[in-house]
Chains A and B, each alone.
Chain A
């Protein structure tokens, strides 16, 4: 057991070591300072600016920034939709797969453009290589870059700078951060065994019984895999995502995947520290999230290590819960991966959350409810600071002044935006569709596990959509039949149709409403006259205040979902403790 905790601790150390390096680099990129890649990238970017017609000097207001996001994302979504819907005749379709049902294409498009990558399909059987390359690899860059742009615009606003230009931020996020790291990462992944080929499936007789054949699915995976992690996308090339030996063949690639998905959201807090010229505050916030994150890992890790008591009884000894887990990752790397992927809104999985012990369900759900245990690409950091603003507002009055954050007064407009953004969007996007589904479980549910876990399956799906995470309690029957099955006569189901459409609602509400609110919040903060710090000012860079913030996050963020957690994973835990029967 100790060895397991040791490898987890070491992984966290690696991540923390990368933070100041990548965080510092990102700060230079977004502040327009000189970086090592300038000589190479300045001409490339110049060309791209000319081709796209981006006016680099044009500053945007919060509302303009938000509108630019909506317009560009709409354009991208249309392109993706058209590519997938026409995959049947488009090139690079070695398996000859036809078009999925319209609702699957719609859901997939929205899911990927919102940086969620919730998958109501299996990569192998539903999509051509062309769709994966052109349709899905593309939003993995742009949606991540959109998130980063929002995060950086938010940081700029918070620190009193103009928000910047969305298109410039979008482009630079790709050319300076996502693409260079992806190029290197993809090469490492290929070397480590991740396929990168246009050749189709290999079918071979199995060793033990030559009358039975094995189909080895392949594809251009490596380049997809790195941006999937780095951009907190999480949509697997294959159905089973990073548990698949071709996506994540070894403990080495697993380490890279975890570091990849953690790198940007962790570093962005440091980037904030540079923008705010207050690294102490950045590290304190970092520490707060790290404590939450470590506590979560501990809870999941212990649960998985101790295993399923019912199975332990059958085996006559305590063994880890390996259901849905790969031998090469074991309980430790699976637990670490699960907490990291749900905390960062990546949604890739190297083990199946549906089969985790209830403590795993509790934590992964909490991760998505809170959205700040590192949080989504760019947006997570922004949420974190929005929580800080809310904490300042709730507790700041207690020092006898109008609450202020970074010298800017928190007034009605900020409270409206921050509280709406942090407190109201999620209940609307998760609880309402969740309640509808559970009111008609037989018609709409597609629930595969009985009882409390079934409830958790439904809530998890909406939480994953609303938080733009993308992972799932995958037993849920949320997929339409594959194009092959439809060609063979299968009919689309209303359950899958409901899931595709209702999660689209959660995806869109969970993405664009908060983004708009964040940008407006940043805009209004940036326009405020800063008040100088005095001893009467509530300092937000003290351990005390960060501790208070953690309390506010837990109370305000988690209380909303306490009934759900009680009726889901907590009840399931008591049920298992009592003995399944």
Chain B
């Protein structure tokens, strides 16, 4: 995990190091992108397409009108000036306006092209396959994977491509998911478990066979949705984008009225002007820069998410990432390395360390979790403990969120358990399931002392017992992922609060919370607590993001404003979430916040820039076209002539669109600063810069162009 070096507000690079290396997704093929985009840019001139963008449509119509007055300058009333000169000027205006539209189309086409390339690489995982559909009578019918419907059952055998997203209902098999996740090691899939029961269409089964229930209709799977989104074809505008479009449309209408009414005014003061010049004024004033780049910004935002190996089901979800107030994070796997390791055995009640090791070993013999394995390892290697019973005669008791214990029922009827200290305390006092008698165990102060000790160290204490006798405590050490503290600090500066959820007790939780630098934590959390925390935060008007993988996370994922399901998680969790992380890396949530913010900032920055440009354009055009009114002194830029002023302003107006395409696609650099710092910084660059830049640029163009 790379630690971004940005405590001093240096640019936060979206970490790409290790995670990037891990990516095996076929890389988007970008060759020929620009040639295709140029062709697309012209194809998009189709009026049915052009009308979708009101700002650029005005330019499009304006181009048509100036083309007409190029053919006949006196079409809309006699113009006093020499017709030949008028024709040249109008012709130039027509050409520039035409290219303004083409450039805007080009911006959109490039963004779409990149999206398409991304989509193609995703789609390559979705080649059509033959599915073996299991009919109710048990027979198998071979059909095309596209004909599968939700709820169908299919059988896949080694070597098959899994035809669609599904849930394993029978069988155990290893599956190669590298096409999607980039993880080359095969994953074991089996029914009933939270993590390993869901399969994704397009992955390949390597061994054995599985019976699946299909969970999505064709074209409705995650990948299909993502393809549609990154291609921009199915793109619905996000709320912010809609609101911005409204503002841009209103501004366009305003300037339409301004320019339409300026003609009688100019005539009244005997400073008449021509229709081509009025259209030039209009085009210069309406927000063409942002109007031309708006959809490209949106598509590029989705594209960035996809590049990050996250599948979003809507643009709205990506935008919402920027608005997140609270991140609800599971401790395990997100904040700490998934595996806690057994570090020490602490005996109580007069038992020896060896005895504790012996019981702990017995309780962990069936435990396949890293913790369990580490206990076995510690017991065997440090304390020479041996298994004293025949494991084939014993019965493993699995951990459950409710009992918060696991263990073994020995062949002799003894029950050894290890688990959360209060759970084990409860166990030794509870009624035995087998005998029905109360076990009648007692709790010593020593136990509490050991528990306290481990907790204070930030470890997880697991009590071990055999029947009613508590032998001691296993100290499981939690390891906080490196670099997280800095990231949480950044989040805090950005106003995002982090809440850690853990099944640990309060003391342990508080130590880890402090070490990791989260703002708040919920200890001894049950799955229900997760949804409660989200509801509570939302009741205060906050937007909450969380990650989850298990089926019991599904309600919380659905409740959260941004729910990111791990690809390794169950189908239910993925259905409930609005994003799926193909890498199953919960810390990615933090990066998603950054991507969301970057999207919004880019949009805001270019809007501000576009509007701020108007000042310079006004000062270029108004004084020169109304020079007859004696306001030539307002020509502060000292532009050569009215013709040159108009052409320069229009050239600037056209060229600024392609000039900003890289920014629109890459996004404005995001720095983890407070809102005030961000505003100051971006206002300086895009606000003040937007006022000044065009003055300089227009003047330079005016000097360069050979126009009298």
Q: Which residues of A contact B (CB under 8 A)?
A: 390, 393-402, 407, 410-412, 414-416, 419-420, 423-424, 427-428, 431-432, 434-436, 438-439, 441, 451-452, 454-455, 529-532, 534-539, 542, 544-545, 548, 551, 555-556, 559-564, 566-567, 570-571, 574-575, 578
Contacts and interface: CB of A to CB of B under 8 A. Distances in A.
The 3 closest A-B pairs by CB, nearest first: A536-B495, A397-B604, A400-B597
B243, B623, B631, B676 interface centre (most CB from chain A within 10 Å): B243
B328 to A, nearest CB: 16
A398 B250 contact: no
B687 A395 contact: yes
Contacts of A423: 250-251, 254
Interface stretch (B124-132, B165-173, B263-271, B334-342): B263-271
A451 B679 contact: no
Which of A414, A452, A539 is most buried by chain B, counting CB atoms within 10 A of its CB? A452
Contacts of A435: 260-265
A148 to B, nearest CB: 28
Contact of B631 (A411, A535, A548, A571): A571
25 contacts: A395-B608, A395-B683, A397-B601, A398-B679, A400-B596, A400-B678, A401-B600, A411-B240, A412-B239, A412-B243, A415-B246, A419-B251, A427-B258, A432-B261, A435-B264, A455-B269, A531-B541, A532-B325, A536-B495, A542-B676, A544-B676, A544-B679, A559-B615, A566-B623, A567-B265
B605 to A, nearest CB: 5
Interface in B657-708: 670, 674-676, 678-680, 682-683, 686-687
A441 B257 CA distance: 20
Given A420-B250, A431-B258, 8 more contacts: A393-B247, A394-B607, A416-B250, A424-B254, A432-B257, A535-B675, A536-B496, A571-B631
B683 A548 contact: yes
B325 A531 contact: yes
A400 B600 contact: yes
Contacts of A411: 239-240, 243
B493 interface: yes
B598 interface: yes
Given A539-B675, A559-B618, A571-B269, A419 B246 contact: yes
B616 to A, nearest CB: 11
Contact of B269 (A402, A451, A534): A451
B600 A397 contact: yes
Nearest to B257: A427
A412 B246 CA distance: 7
Interface of B: 239-240, 242-244, 246-247, 250-251, 253-255, 257-258, 260-269, 271, 285, 319, 322-323, 325, 492-497, 540-543, 596-598, 600-601, 603-605, 607-608, 611-612, 614-615, 618, 622-623, 626, 629-631, 633-634, 670, 674-676, 678-680, 682-683, 686-687
Contacts of A538: 675-676, 679
Contacts of B325: 531-532, 534, 536
A535 B678 CA distance: 11
Contacts, number: 212
B157 to A, nearest CB: 49
Contact of B240 (A397, A536, A566): A397
Contacts of B622: 562-563, 566
Nearest to A404: B323
A561 B255 CA distance: 10
Contacts of B263: 435
A48 B604 CA distance: 51
Nearest to B242: A412
Contact of B492 (A394, A396, A535, A561): A535
A290 B514 CA distance: 49
A539 B676 contact: yes
Given A530-B541, A551-B687, A571-B269, A566 B678 contact: no
Contact of B495 (A534, A551, A564): A534
A184 to B, nearest CB: 44
A557 to B, nearest CB: 11
A434 B246 contact: no
A454 B496 CA distance: 58
Contacts of B251: 419, 423, 556
A395 B604 contact: yes
Contacts of B608: 394-395, 398
B261 A431 contact: yes
B496 to A, nearest CB: 6
A170 B239 CA distance: 37
Contacts of B322: 400-402
Nearest to B321: A400
Contacts of A454: 268
Contact of B686 (A398, A536, A571): A398
Given A556-B611, A574-B633, A398 B678 contact: yes
B323 A441 contact: no
B542 A532 contact: yes
Contact of B250 (A419, A530, A534): A419
A484 to B, nearest CB: 34
A327 B31 CA distance: 80
Contacts of A439: 264, 267-268
A431 B250 CA distance: 16
A336 to B, nearest CB: 28
Contacts of A398: 601, 604-605, 608, 678-679, 682-683, 686
A431 B257 contact: yes
A410 B679 CA distance: 17
A415 B634 CA distance: 33
Given A400-B601, A434-B261, A574-B630, A535 B493 contact: yes
Contacts of B601: 397-400
A534 B496 contact: yes
B542 A455 contact: no
Contact of B247 (A415, A531, A559, A570): A415
Contact of A537 (B285, B605, B675): B675
B675 A401 contact: yes
A388 B604 CA distance: 16
B504 to A, nearest CB: 27
Contacts of B542: 531-532
Contacts of A427: 254, 257-258, 261
Contacts of A428: 257
B614 A559 contact: yes
A531 B495 CA distance: 12
A532 B495 CA distance: 10
Determine which residue in B271, B323, B542, B670 has the highest number of CB atoms from chain A within 10 A of its CB, and name it. B323
A570 B634 contact: yes
Contacts of B260: 435
B258 A560 contact: yes
Q: Among the interface residues B254, B255, B541, B633, which one has the most CB atoms of the partner chain A within 10 A?
A: B254
With most chain B CB atoms within 10 A of its CB, the pick from A410, A419, A560 is A419
A398 B690 CA distance: 14
B55 to A, nearest CB: 14
Given A539-B676, A570-B634, A410 B268 contact: no
Contacts of B492: 535
A366 to B, nearest CB: 15
A487 B704 CA distance: 70
Contacts of B243: 393, 410-412, 414-415
